[in-house]
Structure 1
Amino acid sequence: MPKTERIGFTAKQSREAMEGEEGKQEPQLILAHKLFLLTHPDVPDIEKVPIREEVLGSLKASEMAPLCGRLAAEGVMEVSREDLEAMRARIEEELKKIDEKIADAEENLGESEVREAHLAKSLLYIRISDKEKALEQLKVTESKTVAVGQKMDLVFYTLQLGFFYMDFDLISKSIDKAKSLFEEGGDWERKNRLKVYEGLYYMSTRNFKKAANLFLDSISTFTCYELFPYDTFIFYTVLTSIISLDRVSLKQKVVDAPEILTVIGKIPYLSEFLNSLYECRYKSFFTAFAGLAEHIKLDRYLYPHFRYYMREVRIVVYSQFLESYRSVTMEAMAAAFGVTVDFIDKELSCFIAAGKLHCKIDKVAGVLETNRPDAKNALYQATIKQGDFLLNRIQKLSRVIDL
């Protein structure tokens, strides 16, 4: 992309976007986003000062002694020994009370009370961010659980823990476990929630096509406010759809979707990014793209795939432009995108060499000539190849029969 002036999407705006629906998103996931911003190389030090204060306040409020110790060891946060010891003492006191409740429930009460006491202990370990003990206690709670819906809720707790630590192995296993539980039963509300969790997992592991399909299926049934606000969900849905859907599907499922239209205007640059692409206003698209890039950089799920996503979007927009022409001058294309001819030359050269764009550059004439693969010819070649394979198999079979 060409150099543009830095469009001010700050860490504060990113923080507010992720906390859009106050009181509904899981505090641990809000904290995870703040910790991400705190260690982000592109966030200025002056913006990290209030974030550090907020993080320290959250750590103390939730008694996150295990996490405090780790962050202090990594040099991310400074936590005094007195504060750590005080937190650990309060945790021990809470655990002692819960253990007493468990013992009392096992001796004097029923199975449901025993399960509730064990669940309270699981939630305590999740709250203080003790991953190993939380997972261990969730297994104990599951052994005391009979109802499929309650078992599913335990899986959702595990998934939230997985997203806090970005433990994709744990997330993948938990999603598989949830799907196996649904074979025993399960309500539609939890099934729809699982789609969002699964979509977030696929987006975080760079499978944008599967993520887009799952997000689009969940637009009208979204209830996963514990993961992120609805605005953020629409942001992810639009981003993944743009590089996954064809033009017709994008129009039907995204551009004209009423659920998206009600929200998209609240997210900076997103409406212009989507609509300028569909309406072939490429100069406006690049401007919106530059602004949106700042937002993507400050998202903990998308940041690892920032360069990949930026490349894929450019391939989509260049392919769309070239589809309209048999040949076009480099100067005309550069003018359409509001960039220099040299920039277009470098961009297209890389993508052509990688086999991502079907065209060739006539440098002398300054012309781009498209050489889109003929669908009929490709089908013919595939048929010939399959026919040759079948003949070889028949010949081998005939030799065996002759023997």
Structure 2
Amino acid sequence: MDTQEGEQEPQLVLANKLFLITQPDVDDIEKVRLRDEVQTFVTSNDMVPLYETLVGEGVLSLDQKLMDEMRAKNEDELKKIDEKITDAEENLGESEVREAHLAKSLFYIRIGNKGKALEQLKVTESKTVAVGQKMDLVFHTLQIGFFHMDFDLISKSIAKAKKLFEEGGDWERKNRLKIYEGLFCMATRNFAKAADLFLDSISTFTTYDLFTYDTFIFYTVLTSIITLDRVPLKQKVVDAPEILAVIDKIPHLSEFLNSLYDCRYKSFFTAFAGLAEQIKLDRYLHPHFRYYMREVRTVVYSQFLESYKSVTIEAMAKAFGVSVNFIDLELSRFIAAGKLHCKIDKVAGVLETNRPDAKNALYQSTIKQGDLLLNRIQKLSRVIDL
């Protein structure tokens, strides 16, 4: 499976570099290198709007001569594109008119002018008949959305794409859309849906414009671990040949997955610590870093406690390779938040599990909902009496 970064949409590679520049965990030498690469990319693509933004944010330094040169090149290129559009409209067919308008859309995308690019994509769409070509325009819009992390634009574009597929569309584009939607779900903390979409696309992945296959497997394993139960995790992830073919290339990921499944908790915590940096420096996962770390710990603590009616805190600390105080503090937080069903007997130094069974949980839920309904009826009756 080819996983070269060059196959990615260059502007999404650029977006990742811009993200890393802002991160305190990235060292200064690396930031200097990233700034040089950003400067080279922005200059070689004459990205005047983005250059102005980056200068305003202090990422790049202003070079007025360079700015004027890039602006002149943009004006010259735009003039040629407009001449082609006029020529196509006056002398050529509908297909050539569409191609000329598409060229203008791609020009605005290339220079980083979000507003003009979205406007021009709408114009191009009005000249487009084929469903497949309309879908390609939606993918361009989605890439703009991911560059700017504009979740409203992404959400609307995904809905539009699904509507287009009701008119037709090929399997390759449908599978591609699943990955886009999966990334959107992951970036908006809907990890369960993201895992389903990623796992559904694991044997048909071709979306190299978003990320490499290695990154796709990384996301698939991370989202699956906190959302799948033990049996489906084994079937769909631990034993999946597509995952097995790649997982060893990604530092700590194989140990992270397998030590959790094999109940090797000390190894799991070591691998987890190694993965933390990768998660923190991932553009899409970074905002959910603390949430994800909590969810993983909930999964692993729950798995450990499921095996026992009661267990000493010392035994649990030893299994995880941490101190008794650490486990005591950790579990008290998770119990208070309702994430773990157990109680701590500090005097005896014992953890006692009190997992509610499904019937009991349903009974409690019914009682609670019944009380709410009675309260509402009482309030309503008072209003009616008045």
Same fold (TM over 0.5): yes
1:66 to 43, 49, 62: 49
1:237 to 207, 220, 240: 220
Q: Distance in 2 between matches of 1:261 and 1:140?
A: 45
Q: Distance in 2 between matches of 1:59 and 1:243?
A: 39
Match of 2:6 in 1: 23
- Number of equivalenced pairs: 377
Inter-CA distance 135–391: structure 2 relative to 1 (3 Å threshold): closer
The letter for the 2-side match of 1:222 is F
Match of 2:193 in 1: 210
2:264 to 271, 278, 281: 281
Inter-CA distance 358–385: structure 2 relative to 1 (3 Å threshold): closer
Which runs of 5 or more residues in structure 2 are unaligned?
377-386
Q: Distance in 2 between matches of 1:77 and 1:388?
A: 60
1:118-160 CA distance string (max 9 Å, x none): 0000001001110000000000000000001100000000000
Match of 1:121 in 2: 104
Inter-CA distance 161–390: structure 2 relative to 1 (3 Å threshold): closer
Percent identity between the aligned chains? 80
SS across alignment from 2:352:
strand
Q: Does 1:46 align with 2:33?
A: no
1:104 to 79, 87, 90: 87
SS across alignment from 1:368:
strand
Match of 2:379 in 1: none
Q: Does 1:227 align with 2:210?
A: yes
Superposition deviation, residue 23 in structure 1? 2.7
SS across alignment from 2:203:
helix
Superposition deviation, residue 380 in structure 1? 4.1
Structure 1 residue runs of 4 or more that deviate by more than 3 Å after TM superposition: 379-393
Q: Distance in 2 between matches of 1:83 and 1:387?
A: 70
Match of 1:344 in 2: 327
Inter-CA distance 384–343: structure 2 relative to 1 (3 Å threshold): closer
2:128 to 145, 149, 166: 145
The letter for the 2-side match of 1:183 is E
Match of 1:261 in 2: 244
Which runs of 5 or more residues in structure 1 are unaligned?
1-18, 394-403
Q: Distance in 1 between matches of 2:71 and 2:370?
A: 71
Match of 1:320 in 2: 303
Give the stretch that moved more between structures: 379-388 or 222-231: 379-388
Q: Does 1:132 align with 2:115?
A: yes
Match of 1:200 in 2: 183
Q: Does 1:156 align with 2:139?
A: yes
Superposition deviation, residue 76 in structure 1? 1.1
SS across alignment from 1:23:
helix
Q: Does 1:56 align with 2:39?
A: yes
Q: Distance in 2 between matches of 1:34 and 1:377?
A: 51
Superposition deviation, residue 375 in structure 1? 1.7
Inter-CA distance 337–157: structure 2 relative to 1 (3 Å threshold): same
Superposition deviation, residue 342 in structure 1? 0.2
The letter for the 1-side match of 2:335 is I
Match of 1:368 in 2: 351
Give the stretch that moved more between structures: 116-125 or 374-383: 374-383
Q: CA RMSD in A?
A: 1.9
The letter for the 1-side match of 2:22 is T
Match of 1:397 in 2: none
1:25-56 CA distance string (max 9 Å, x none): 01000000000111111111121111111111
2:156 to 146, 157, 173: 173
1:167-196 CA distance string (max 9 Å, x none): 000000000000111111111111110000
The letter for the 1-side match of 2:215 is T
Q: Does 1:295 align with 2:259?
A: no
Superposition deviation, residue 20 in structure 1? 4.6
SS across alignment from 1:219:
coil
SS across alignment from 1:360:
strand
- Does the CA-based 8 Å contact 2:5-2:211 persist in structure 1? no
The letter for the 2-side match of 1:257 is A
1:332-361 CA distance string (max 9 Å, x none): 000000000000000000000000000000
The letter for the 1-side match of 2:11 is Q
Match of 2:61 in 1: 78
Inter-CA distance 385–333: structure 2 relative to 1 (3 Å threshold): closer
Superposition deviation, residue 383 in structure 1? 5.9
Superposition deviation, residue 391 in structure 1? 11
1:266-299 CA distance string (max 9 Å, x none): 0000000000000000000000000100101110
Q: So what's the TM-score if we normalise by structure 2?
A: 0.94
Q: Distance in 2 between matches of 1:390 and 1:34?
A: 53
Superposition deviation, residue 24 in structure 1? 1.1
